[in-house]
């Protein structure tokens, strides 16, 4: 069948590209949700303390807001980059010139590692 349509990718290749794109979208949503939780965690702790009738001192100048906003930003950028990756791979599949790239995976890994180290450092300093 491939010899009848030279230069055209198989339908299964395009479907795999779409599944990969949707996986990246789920990843970006997860990153943004985690960022939202990090930002709102201080508010949650205050509310729990009020329910329990305890007086809890919360650091107002912590890094959790910055780190949470950074995570939401990373999720948004991941969405944009995953769409760019999807369209680039679609064009490569159509022209039968697919080349594997790990740039998005490497960038996301480095950013998440940096944010994780920042969160660990913040948690160590706040205890």
What's the pLDDT score for residue 27? 94
What's the pLDDT score for residue 33? 94
What's the pLDDT score for residue 14? 93
Q: What are the residues whose beta carbons fall under 8 Å from the beta carbon of 84, sequence distance 6 or more?
A: none
What distance in Å separates the CA atoms of residue 63 and residue 21, rounded to the nearest whole number?
Answer: 32
Segments of the chain scoring below 70 in pLDDT: 1-9, 55-62, 126-127
Domain chopping of the chain, boundaries: 11-126
What distance in Å separates the CA atoms of residue 76 and residue 29, rounded to the nearest whole number?
Answer: 8
What distance in Å separates the CA atoms of residue 46 and residue 61, rounded to the nearest whole number?
Answer: 15
């Amino acid at each position: 069948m491939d010899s009848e349509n030279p230069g055209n990718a198989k339908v299964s290749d395009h479907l795999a590209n779409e599944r990969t794109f949707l996986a990246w979208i789920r990843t970006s949503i997860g990153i943004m949700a985690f960022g939202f939780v990090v930002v709102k965690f201080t508010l949650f702790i205050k509310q729990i303390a009020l329910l329990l009738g305890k007086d809890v001192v919360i650091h107002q100048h912590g890094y959790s807001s910055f780190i949470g906003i950074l995570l939401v930003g990373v999720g948004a950028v991941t969405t944009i980059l995953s769409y760019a990756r999807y369209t680039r791979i679609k064009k490569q599949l159509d022209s039968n010139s697919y080349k594997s790239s790990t740039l998005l995976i490497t960038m996301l890994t480095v950013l998440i590692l940096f944010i994780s180290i920042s969160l660990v450092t913040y948690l160590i300093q706040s205890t």
